[in-house]
Amino acid sequence: MKYFSLLPALILAARVIAFPSHASLAGLSEQELDEIIPTLEIREPAQPPGPPEDTSAKLVNDKDHPWKPLRPGDIRGPCPGLNTLASHGYLPRNGVATPAQIINAVQEGFNMDNSVALFATYEAHLMVGNLLTDLLSIGRKTPLTGPDLPPPANIGGLRDASMTRGDAFFGNNDEFNEELFQQFIDYSNRFGGGYYNLTVAAELRFKRIQDSIATNPEFNFVSPRFFAAYGESVAPNNFFVDGRKDDGHLDMDAARGFFQFGRMPDGFFRPNGTKGNAGLDDVVRAHPVQPGRNLGRVNSYTHDPTSADFTTPCLLYENFANKTVTALYPNPKGQLRRAIKANLHFLFLAINRTVGCAEVFPYGRD
């Protein structure tokens, strides 16, 4: 019977040997960290890239960036923007990148505004990235052969009420969902004359929230997901429309290419000038919703007054730093602690530039 006591050690050893360099270290015990960290190639967090000089519309589906199908083991996830950049080689095609690579790619491929790019990227990196190797993945292995990200990736139901992905509660938040895309088309027909425009964005955003309230007992729609969901609703208008047209009306063939296949239309031009969250206010105003969650049963949506909303953008940052990150990393030590602090500071630089907030230091100032 003695050898049974070896089992935990063997399981731990297997997990250590197999630990992916892009997987998050959040939630690991000190013993696990002691085993894993020596196997990692540690890299100092790189400084965030600045904005590019040239923000003109230009051909981005070019001969240096052809779309290629996935190879076994390539990682794709719920973000059609990042999937597309990986499948065209603006990001490493395996779907694992540094924050700096992601920022450069969203700027080069889609003309995303520098502050928006920094905020989204460091937020994601702090939640699901490996802060010691400075790598994060844009999702999980496709097809899903097993979890590639540890559980913190979904902490707090961060990914609920997407337009084309199901809620994590239903088991698969990463992969394109044809039924949801049919609804996307239906709404584009009903409210946009066959195109996805801002009216469609507003109606579909509201519909997806109502559906989650009615079907997902664990529906969670507080900050930061609350903010991200609205930003994502206007991303197709801002980023997926050819820069020579730039009118915010997205046709369904192009939409399917981006959402399902991570593929730009032939001859695609990126937007003309930098884009951020234009149109977000219209989407919010059409159907105001307060941040909140279901209470373990459907149709129990309850406002959470401690969550940030659109009137309190600095609270978005403060809660993220004080609560979300400290829940993931309650007591980090040494180089991990320094890396968390560096990434939190990069996040602050982005929000400080757009809103102007006071920096918070949940891990101390020094």
Ligand X SMILES: *[C@@H]1O[C@H](CO)[C@@H](O)[C@H](O)[C@H]1NC(C)=O
Contacts of 210 (CB under 8 A, 6+ apart): none
Taking the complex as a whole, the smallest distance from the CB of residue 129 to ligand X amounts, in Å, to 22
62 binds ligand X, rule: CB under 6 A: no
| C-alpha pair distances (Å), 168 with each of 81, 153, 285 | 20, 10, 27
Taking the complex as a whole, the smallest distance from the CB of residue 129 to ligand HEM amounts, in Å, to 10
313 binds ligand X, rule: CB under 6 A: no
199 binds ligand X, rule: CB under 6 A: yes
Determine how many CB atoms are found less than 10 A away from the CB of residue 199.
Answer: 18
Q: Where are the beta strands (DSSP E) in the chain?
A: 75-76, 96-97, 136-137, 140-141, 220-221, 292-293, 302-303
Taking the complex as a whole, the smallest distance from the CB of residue 92 to ligand X amounts, in Å, to 29
238 binds ligand X, rule: CB under 6 A: no
Angle at 186 between CA 194 and CA 188, to 5 degrees: 35
Taking the complex as a whole, the smallest distance from the CB of residue 162 to ligand HEM amounts, in Å, to 3
Compute φ and ψ for 204, nearest 5 degrees.
-70, -40
185 vs 315, beta carbon nearer ligand X: 315
Contacts of 357-360 with CB under 8 Å at 24 or more apart are 357/313, 357/314, 357/317, 357/318, 358/314, 360/317, 360/318, 360/321, 360/322
Taking the complex as a whole, the smallest distance from the CB of residue 219 to ligand X amounts, in Å, to 23
Using CB under 6 A, which residues numbered 213 to 242 contact ligand HEM? 232, 235-236, 239
290 vs 322, beta carbon nearer ligand X: 322
Query: How far is 68 from 225, CA to CA, in rounded Å?
Result: 31
Find the binder of ligand HEM among 45, 81, 224, 257 (CB under 6 A).
Answer: 81
Give the footprint of ligand X on this chain (CB under 6 A): 57, 192-193, 197-199, 243-244, 272, 315, 318-319, 322, 349, 352, 356, 360-362
- Interface residues with ligand HEM (CB under 6 A) are 78-82, 102, 106, 110, 112, 117, 120-121, 124, 159, 162-165, 173, 232, 235-236, 239
